[in-house]
Copies of this chain bind each other. A is one copy, B any other.
Amino acid sequence: MVTIYDVAELAGVSPATVSRVFNGTSVSDQKVAAVRAAAATLNFTPNRTARTLRRQSSEVIALVIPDIENPYFTEMARGVEDVASEAGYSVVLCNSDAQTEKEATYLRIAMAEHMSGVIIATADEGTRLDEILATGRPVVAVDRATSYDVDGVVMANRAAGTAATQDLINAGYRRIAYIGGPEHIDTAAERAAGWRSALAAAMPEADADELVRFATFRVDGGRAAMEELLALPEPPDAVVAGNNLIGVGAIQVLTEHGLTPPKVGVAVIGSLPFTTLSPTAVTVVKLPARHMGVTAARMLLERIGGDSQPARTVVLRNEIQPARAARG
C-alpha cells in the first residue's frame, strides 16, 4: 500500500506537505502540482484508518434498523445513503433484528470505530443511548421517538391511523378491525389510537376491543391476526393494517379465504412496493420512508458539522392513496 511518505519522497517534499495538499491548507501551487503528480503516478489512496485514528472521527455513519428485510426500512436506507454519500460519508447498515442487545452491540462498535454519528430506528423503548451520547456523538432517532433528548424524524402516525380508517368508513364498511404492531412500540400505539378515534367518532356503538389485534410487524404476524379475526363469530368487513408487512399477511389470508379486496375492505399504513394486486383495490397510506431517511441524514450531518441548537423533532406528513374500486 502506497503511503504519504512514498508520495512525499517522489514529489521531493515532506509528508506534512502531502497531507496539506489533500486537506486544503496553504501550499504553493508548484508543490501542489508536484504532489498531485506523484500521488497520481503512485495511485495513492490515503489510509483511512490512520486518518481516523489521528482525527478521532471518521466519515462513516451508522444506520441501525430493526428489520433489513422490510422494504420500508430499505427505502429509508436509500434516502440516508444518498444524502450521506453526496457529503462524502459512508453508511454502515446495522440490522438489530428488533433486539435491544444487538442494538447495543452495534452502538458499541460505532463508538469503537469512531463513527461520526448514528441514525437509529429503535427496537423498542428499552434502547439505551447514554453511553454513545456521553461520547458527544450525535444521534438522530428515525421512525420511532425515544425518551432521550436527541433529534428525531417521525411521521403523523395517529393521523395515518385515522385517515386509513376514515377511508374505509367512507367506502361504506361498518365493521372495521385493526391489526397493529407490538403495543409497546410508540408508532404502533399511535396508529391504533388513530383507528380507535375514527371508529368511535363514526360508530360509537362499535366494540373496538373486540376488533383490535396486536401482532409482530411481520408478514406472519399479519397472517395470524387476520386468521383470528376471520374466526370471530361476527368477522369484520374491513381491516386496517398497522404496517406494510402486516398488510401483506392480512391480504394473503383474505385471498386464500376467497375474500380478495374489496370484498373485505383493506387499508394499509405503509406502501406495498411489491404487491401484485390491482392497485385500485386497497387503500394505502404512503409513508415517507425515503424522505425520513433523507431528513434524518441531513440533520445528522448538520450536527456533525457542529450545529448545537436544541434538539428538534420533524414530523413528516403521509399521503393517502384511496382504493378506487367500489366495494364488491
A interface residues, Cβ below 8 angstroms from B: 1, 45-50, 52-53, 58, 68-69, 71, 74-75, 77-78, 81, 90, 92-95, 106, 108-109, 111-114, 135, 219, 244-245, 248, 251-252, 255-256, 272-279
Contact = CB atoms under 8 A, between A and B. Distances in A.
Contacts of A58: 49
Nearest to A51: B112
B277 A111 contact: no
Nearest to A58: B49
A71 B92 CA distance: 18
B278 A255 contact: yes
A75 B252 CA distance: 20
Nearest to A275: B276
A49 B45 contact: no
Contacts of A248: 274-276
Given A49-B114, A252-B275, 11 more contacts: A46-B112, A47-B112, A48-B114, A49-B53, A68-B81, A69-B71, A77-B95, A78-B95, A219-B274, A248-B274, A252-B279
21 contacts: A45-B108, A47-B53, A47-B114, A49-B53, A49-B58, A49-B112, A50-B53, A68-B93, A69-B71, A71-B274, A77-B95, A81-B95, A90-B109, A219-B273, A245-B274, A248-B276, A252-B275, A255-B276, A256-B279, A272-B274, A277-B277
A95 B90 CA distance: 11
A129 to B, nearest CB: 15
Contact of A71 (B71, B94, B114, B272): B71
Contacts of A48: 109, 112-114
Q: What 3 A-B pairs have minimum CB-CB distances, sorted nearest first?
A: A251-B276, A93-B93, A48-B112
A108 B85 CA distance: 14
Contacts of A75: 69
A16 to B, nearest CB: 19
A81 B273 CA distance: 24
Contacts of A252: 275-276, 279
A274 B277 contact: no
Contacts of A244: 274
Contact of A78 (B45, B68, B108, B277): B68
Nearest to A282: B276
Contact of A1 (B90, B135, B255, B277): B135
Nearest to A81: B95
A248 to B, nearest CB: 5
A78 B272 CA distance: 21
A323 B263 CA distance: 24
Given A71-B274, A275-B274, A92 B92 contact: yes
A252 B279 CA distance: 8
